[in-house]
A and B are shown apart, each in its own frame.
Chain A
Protein backbone atom coordinates (compact mmCIF):
# COMPACT_ATOMS: atom_id res chain seq x y z
CA UNK A 1 0.00 0.00 0.00
CA UNK A 2 2.79 2.34 0.97
CA UNK A 3 4.51 1.54 -2.33
CA UNK A 4 1.37 2.67 -4.16
CA UNK A 5 1.42 5.98 -2.34
CA UNK A 6 5.06 6.61 -3.32
CA UNK A 7 4.28 5.97 -7.00
CA UNK A 8 1.39 8.41 -6.89
CA UNK A 9 3.60 11.16 -5.47
CA UNK A 10 6.27 10.56 -8.15
CA UNK A 11 3.82 10.91 -11.05
CA UNK A 12 2.59 14.22 -9.71
CA UNK A 13 6.09 15.66 -9.59
CA UNK A 14 6.83 15.11 -13.33
CA UNK A 15 6.66 18.51 -15.01
CA UNK A 16 8.18 19.56 -18.30
CA UNK A 17 10.18 22.75 -18.25
CA UNK A 18 8.79 24.59 -21.25
CA UNK A 19 10.88 27.73 -20.74
CA UNK A 20 13.84 26.42 -22.76
CA UNK A 21 11.62 25.32 -25.61
CA UNK A 22 9.85 28.68 -25.56
CA UNK A 23 13.22 30.48 -25.73
CA UNK A 24 14.17 28.48 -28.77
CA UNK A 25 10.80 29.01 -30.39
CA UNK A 26 11.08 32.76 -29.87
CA UNK A 27 14.54 32.75 -31.44
CA UNK A 28 13.18 30.95 -34.50
CA UNK A 29 10.26 33.36 -34.64
CA UNK A 30 12.62 36.35 -34.48
CA UNK A 31 14.69 34.90 -37.32
CA UNK A 32 11.67 34.42 -39.58
CA UNK A 33 10.26 37.87 -38.77
CA UNK A 34 13.58 39.55 -39.54
CA UNK A 35 14.17 37.66 -42.79
CA UNK A 36 10.58 38.04 -43.97
CA UNK A 37 10.51 40.21 -47.07
CA UNK A 38 7.31 39.90 -49.08
CA UNK A 39 8.33 39.64 -52.73
CA UNK A 40 6.54 42.05 -55.09
CA UNK A 41 3.94 40.63 -57.45
CA UNK A 42 5.68 40.91 -60.79
CA UNK A 43 4.32 40.01 -64.18
CA UNK A 44 6.31 38.76 -67.12
CA UNK A 45 6.16 38.42 -70.87
CA UNK A 46 7.46 35.09 -72.12
CA UNK A 47 9.32 35.22 -75.39
CA UNK A 48 11.30 32.96 -77.63
CA UNK A 49 14.25 35.02 -78.80
CA UNK A 50 16.25 33.33 -81.52
CA UNK A 51 19.26 35.27 -82.79
CA UNK A 52 18.32 37.47 -85.76
CA UNK A 53 18.26 35.54 -89.04
CA UNK A 54 18.24 36.99 -92.54
CA UNK A 55 14.68 37.61 -93.74
CA UNK A 56 13.70 34.42 -95.54
CA UNK A 57 10.74 33.06 -97.41
CA UNK A 58 8.27 30.88 -95.55
CA UNK A 59 8.65 27.11 -95.89
CA UNK A 60 6.85 25.71 -98.94
CA UNK A 61 6.15 29.16 -100.36
CA UNK A 62 6.76 29.90 -104.06
CA UNK A 63 10.13 31.40 -104.86
CA UNK A 64 10.55 35.05 -105.81
CA UNK A 65 9.11 35.71 -109.29
CA UNK A 66 7.29 32.38 -109.53
CA UNK A 67 3.87 33.88 -108.91
CA UNK A 68 3.51 36.81 -111.28
CA UNK A 69 0.10 37.73 -109.87
CA UNK A 70 1.67 38.53 -106.51
CA UNK A 71 2.35 42.25 -106.24
CA UNK A 72 2.73 42.28 -102.44
CA UNK A 73 6.46 42.56 -101.64
CA UNK A 74 6.19 40.93 -98.20
CA UNK A 75 3.90 38.03 -99.11
CA UNK A 76 5.40 34.64 -98.25
CA UNK A 77 8.09 36.10 -96.05
CA UNK A 78 8.19 34.67 -92.53
CA UNK A 79 9.77 37.65 -90.72
CA UNK A 80 8.10 41.00 -90.27
CA UNK A 81 10.43 43.91 -89.56
CA UNK A 82 9.38 46.63 -87.15
CA UNK A 83 11.73 49.58 -86.74
CA UNK A 84 11.63 51.67 -83.58
CA UNK A 85 13.72 54.84 -83.71
CA UNK A 86 14.74 56.52 -80.48
CA UNK A 87 14.66 60.21 -79.62
CA UNK A 88 17.71 61.61 -77.77
CA UNK A 89 15.79 61.38 -74.46
CA UNK A 90 15.24 57.64 -74.95
CA UNK A 91 11.57 57.87 -75.90
CA UNK A 92 10.08 56.51 -79.13
CA UNK A 93 10.66 59.00 -81.97
CA UNK A 94 9.05 57.12 -84.87
CA UNK A 95 8.07 53.58 -85.71
CA UNK A 96 7.69 51.74 -88.98
CA UNK A 97 6.18 48.40 -89.93
CA UNK A 98 8.15 47.33 -92.96
CA UNK A 99 8.60 50.66 -94.68
CA UNK A 100 5.31 52.25 -93.63
CA UNK A 101 5.50 54.66 -90.71
CA UNK A 102 3.08 54.28 -87.81
CA UNK A 103 2.32 56.94 -85.22
CA UNK A 104 2.24 55.54 -81.71
CA UNK A 105 1.58 52.16 -80.18
CA UNK A 106 -2.19 52.26 -80.87
CA UNK A 107 -1.54 52.71 -84.58
CA UNK A 108 1.09 49.96 -84.40
CA UNK A 109 -1.46 47.62 -82.84
CA UNK A 110 -3.95 48.35 -85.64
CA UNK A 111 -1.36 47.91 -88.35
CA UNK A 112 -0.07 44.62 -86.90
CA UNK A 113 -3.61 43.26 -86.70
CA UNK A 114 -3.94 43.98 -90.44
CA UNK A 115 -0.55 42.52 -91.35
CA UNK A 116 -0.33 39.51 -89.04
CA UNK A 117 -3.94 38.64 -88.24
CA UNK A 118 -5.90 35.62 -89.54
CA UNK A 119 -7.65 37.76 -92.20
CA UNK A 120 -4.36 38.92 -93.70
CA UNK A 121 -3.42 35.49 -95.02
CA UNK A 122 0.21 36.35 -94.31
CA UNK A 123 2.77 33.71 -93.43
CA UNK A 124 4.70 35.66 -90.81
CA UNK A 125 5.72 33.65 -87.78
CA UNK A 126 8.22 36.00 -86.20
CA UNK A 127 8.95 39.68 -85.81
CA UNK A 128 12.34 41.33 -86.04
CA UNK A 129 12.47 44.46 -83.93
CA UNK A 130 15.07 46.95 -85.09
CA UNK A 131 15.56 49.18 -82.08
CA UNK A 132 17.42 52.46 -81.63
CA UNK A 133 20.33 52.08 -79.23
CA UNK A 134 19.14 54.87 -76.93
CA UNK A 135 15.60 53.57 -76.54
CA UNK A 136 14.76 53.01 -72.89
CA UNK A 137 13.56 49.64 -71.65
CA UNK A 138 10.08 50.83 -70.66
CA UNK A 139 9.52 52.22 -74.17
CA UNK A 140 10.75 48.95 -75.69
CA UNK A 141 8.36 47.02 -73.47
CA UNK A 142 5.42 49.04 -74.83
CA UNK A 143 6.29 47.80 -78.33
CA UNK A 144 6.91 44.23 -77.11
CA UNK A 145 3.56 44.39 -75.29
CA UNK A 146 1.76 45.30 -78.53
CA UNK A 147 3.61 42.56 -80.45
CA UNK A 148 2.85 39.80 -77.95
CA UNK A 149 -0.86 40.65 -78.04
CA UNK A 150 -1.01 39.73 -81.74
CA UNK A 151 -2.45 36.50 -83.05
CA UNK A 152 -0.83 35.00 -86.15
CA UNK A 153 -2.64 33.72 -89.22
CA UNK A 154 -2.26 30.14 -87.91
CA UNK A 155 -4.11 31.09 -84.71
CA UNK A 156 -1.06 31.03 -82.46
CA UNK A 157 0.07 33.94 -80.33
CA UNK A 158 3.17 35.78 -81.49
CA UNK A 159 6.01 34.95 -79.11
CA UNK A 160 8.95 34.73 -81.50
CA UNK A 161 10.85 38.01 -81.57
CA UNK A 162 14.37 39.01 -82.49
CA UNK A 163 16.12 42.20 -81.50
CA UNK A 164 18.51 44.07 -83.75
CA UNK A 165 20.25 47.23 -82.57
CA UNK A 166 20.10 50.23 -84.89
CA UNK A 167 23.22 52.36 -84.95
CA UNK A 168 23.33 55.47 -82.79
CA UNK A 169 21.54 58.37 -84.48
CA UNK A 170 19.72 56.19 -87.04
CA UNK A 171 16.77 57.96 -88.62
CA UNK A 172 13.91 56.62 -90.72
Chain B
Protein backbone atom coordinates (compact mmCIF):
# COMPACT_ATOMS: atom_id res chain seq x y z
CA UNK B 1 0.00 0.00 0.00
CA UNK B 2 2.64 2.44 1.08
CA UNK B 3 4.71 1.45 -2.01
CA UNK B 4 1.95 2.34 -4.45
CA UNK B 5 1.38 5.69 -2.73
CA UNK B 6 5.05 6.56 -3.00
CA UNK B 7 5.12 5.79 -6.72
CA UNK B 8 2.02 7.99 -7.30
CA UNK B 9 3.70 10.92 -5.51
CA UNK B 10 6.83 10.68 -7.66
CA UNK B 11 4.92 10.80 -10.98
CA UNK B 12 5.95 14.34 -11.89
CA UNK B 13 7.27 15.31 -15.30
CA UNK B 14 10.86 16.50 -15.31
CA UNK B 15 10.53 20.08 -16.59
CA UNK B 16 14.24 20.86 -16.57
CA UNK B 17 15.03 19.84 -20.19
CA UNK B 18 11.95 21.69 -21.45
CA UNK B 19 13.00 24.80 -19.52
CA UNK B 20 16.50 24.51 -20.96
CA UNK B 21 15.11 24.34 -24.48
CA UNK B 22 12.76 27.27 -23.93
CA UNK B 23 15.60 29.42 -22.60
CA UNK B 24 17.69 28.52 -25.62
CA UNK B 25 14.84 29.61 -27.90
CA UNK B 26 14.43 32.85 -25.94
CA UNK B 27 18.14 33.54 -26.24
CA UNK B 28 17.97 32.94 -30.00
CA UNK B 29 15.02 35.30 -30.51
CA UNK B 30 16.56 37.95 -28.25
CA UNK B 31 19.71 37.93 -30.34
CA UNK B 32 18.04 38.01 -33.75
CA UNK B 33 15.28 40.48 -32.87
CA UNK B 34 16.13 43.85 -34.31
CA UNK B 35 13.88 46.64 -33.11
CA UNK B 36 15.37 48.96 -35.74
CA UNK B 37 13.23 47.13 -38.30
CA UNK B 38 10.21 48.89 -36.79
CA UNK B 39 11.48 52.16 -38.27
CA UNK B 40 11.38 50.69 -41.79
CA UNK B 41 8.22 51.00 -43.83
CA UNK B 42 8.17 47.57 -45.46
CA UNK B 43 5.31 48.48 -47.80
CA UNK B 44 7.71 50.62 -49.87
CA UNK B 45 9.08 49.10 -53.05
CA UNK B 46 12.72 50.09 -53.24
CA UNK B 47 14.51 50.40 -56.58
CA UNK B 48 16.91 47.63 -57.60
CA UNK B 49 20.47 48.82 -58.16
CA UNK B 50 23.57 46.76 -58.93
CA UNK B 51 26.09 48.70 -56.87
CA UNK B 52 23.96 49.02 -53.73
CA UNK B 53 25.83 47.26 -50.93
CA UNK B 54 24.87 46.64 -47.36
CA UNK B 55 27.11 48.80 -45.20
CA UNK B 56 27.98 48.32 -41.55
CA UNK B 57 26.30 51.28 -39.84
CA UNK B 58 27.25 50.31 -36.29
CA UNK B 59 27.89 53.46 -34.29
CA UNK B 60 26.74 55.76 -37.09
CA UNK B 61 23.96 58.20 -36.28
CA UNK B 62 21.19 57.53 -38.80
CA UNK B 63 17.92 59.28 -39.56
CA UNK B 64 15.68 56.99 -41.60
CA UNK B 65 13.14 58.74 -43.84
CA UNK B 66 10.46 56.60 -45.50
CA UNK B 67 8.96 58.43 -48.47
CA UNK B 68 6.01 56.92 -50.28
CA UNK B 69 5.10 57.50 -53.92
CA UNK B 70 2.92 60.48 -53.05
CA UNK B 71 5.88 62.14 -51.32
CA UNK B 72 4.59 61.65 -47.76
CA UNK B 73 7.12 61.18 -45.00
CA UNK B 74 6.44 58.19 -42.71
CA UNK B 75 8.27 57.78 -39.44
CA UNK B 76 7.39 54.65 -37.42
CA UNK B 77 4.16 54.40 -39.43
CA UNK B 78 3.09 57.98 -38.67
CA UNK B 79 2.86 60.63 -41.40
CA UNK B 80 4.97 63.64 -40.46
CA UNK B 81 5.22 67.19 -41.71
CA UNK B 82 8.52 67.31 -43.62
CA UNK B 83 9.91 70.79 -42.69
CA UNK B 84 9.06 70.67 -38.99
CA UNK B 85 10.23 67.07 -38.49
CA UNK B 86 13.58 67.60 -40.23
CA UNK B 87 14.14 70.89 -38.42
CA UNK B 88 13.58 69.15 -35.09
CA UNK B 89 15.94 66.32 -35.99
CA UNK B 90 18.60 68.80 -37.20
CA UNK B 91 18.40 70.60 -33.87
CA UNK B 92 18.78 67.31 -31.98
CA UNK B 93 21.72 66.29 -34.18
CA UNK B 94 23.42 69.66 -33.65
CA UNK B 95 23.01 69.47 -29.87
CA UNK B 96 24.37 65.93 -29.84
CA UNK B 97 27.39 66.99 -31.94
CA UNK B 98 27.94 70.01 -29.68
CA UNK B 99 27.97 67.77 -26.60
CA UNK B 100 30.67 65.59 -28.16
CA UNK B 101 32.70 68.47 -29.58
CA UNK B 102 32.32 71.88 -27.99
CA UNK B 103 33.94 73.55 -31.04
CA UNK B 104 31.21 72.25 -33.35
CA UNK B 105 29.81 75.19 -35.24
CA UNK B 106 26.46 75.80 -36.91
CA UNK B 107 28.23 76.05 -40.27
CA UNK B 108 29.72 72.54 -39.92
CA UNK B 109 28.08 69.60 -41.61
CA UNK B 110 25.82 67.65 -39.26
CA UNK B 111 27.22 64.19 -38.42
CA UNK B 112 23.87 62.43 -38.90
CA UNK B 113 23.44 60.40 -42.09
CA UNK B 114 20.05 60.75 -43.76
CA UNK B 115 18.85 57.36 -44.96
CA UNK B 116 16.41 57.88 -47.82
CA UNK B 117 14.02 54.95 -48.29
CA UNK B 118 11.81 56.10 -51.14
CA UNK B 119 9.35 54.12 -53.22
CA UNK B 120 10.64 53.49 -56.74
CA UNK B 121 7.60 55.26 -58.20
CA UNK B 122 8.28 58.52 -56.31
CA UNK B 123 8.73 61.43 -58.74
CA UNK B 124 11.96 63.39 -58.37
CA UNK B 125 10.10 66.65 -57.60
CA UNK B 126 8.67 65.13 -54.39
CA UNK B 127 11.93 63.45 -53.41
CA UNK B 128 13.84 66.67 -54.01
CA UNK B 129 11.62 68.49 -51.50
CA UNK B 130 12.87 66.14 -48.76
CA UNK B 131 16.52 66.26 -49.89
CA UNK B 132 16.48 70.05 -50.19
CA UNK B 133 14.86 70.46 -46.76
CA UNK B 134 17.59 68.26 -45.27
CA UNK B 135 20.32 70.28 -47.03
CA UNK B 136 18.79 73.56 -45.86
CA UNK B 137 18.96 72.25 -42.29
CA UNK B 138 22.66 71.33 -42.52
CA UNK B 139 22.59 67.64 -43.41
CA UNK B 140 25.18 66.62 -46.02
CA UNK B 141 25.62 62.87 -45.62
CA UNK B 142 23.03 60.82 -47.41
CA UNK B 143 22.48 57.13 -48.03
CA UNK B 144 20.04 56.15 -50.75
CA UNK B 145 18.51 52.76 -50.02
CA UNK B 146 17.96 50.20 -52.76
CA UNK B 147 17.70 46.46 -53.13
CA UNK B 148 20.71 44.73 -54.59
CA UNK B 149 20.11 43.09 -57.95
CA UNK B 150 22.35 40.09 -57.13
Contact = CB atoms under 8 A, between A and B. Distances in A.
B15 A18 contact: yes
Interface in A130-151: 131-138, 140-142, 144-145, 148-149
Contact of A141 (B128, B136, B146): B146
B6 to A, nearest CB: 12
Contacts of A50: 135, 140
A49 B124 contact: no
Contact of A165 (B29, B47, B128): B128
A22 B25 CA distance: 13
Bin chain A's interface residue count: 35 or more
Contact of B143 (A19, A32, A44): A44
A42 B124 contact: no
A147 B124 CA distance: 17
Nearest to A47: B142
A51 B46 CA distance: 25
A9 interface: no
Interface residues of B, number: 54
A137 B26 contact: no
Interface of A: 18-19, 21-22, 25-26, 28-29, 32-33, 35-51, 86, 90, 131-138, 140-142, 144-145, 148-149, 163, 165, 168
20 contacts: A32-B26, A33-B29, A36-B32, A41-B148, A42-B117, A42-B147, A43-B55, A45-B52, A45-B143, A47-B141, A51-B136, A135-B123, A137-B123, A138-B47, A138-B120, A141-B144, A142-B49, A145-B50, A165-B124, A168-B125
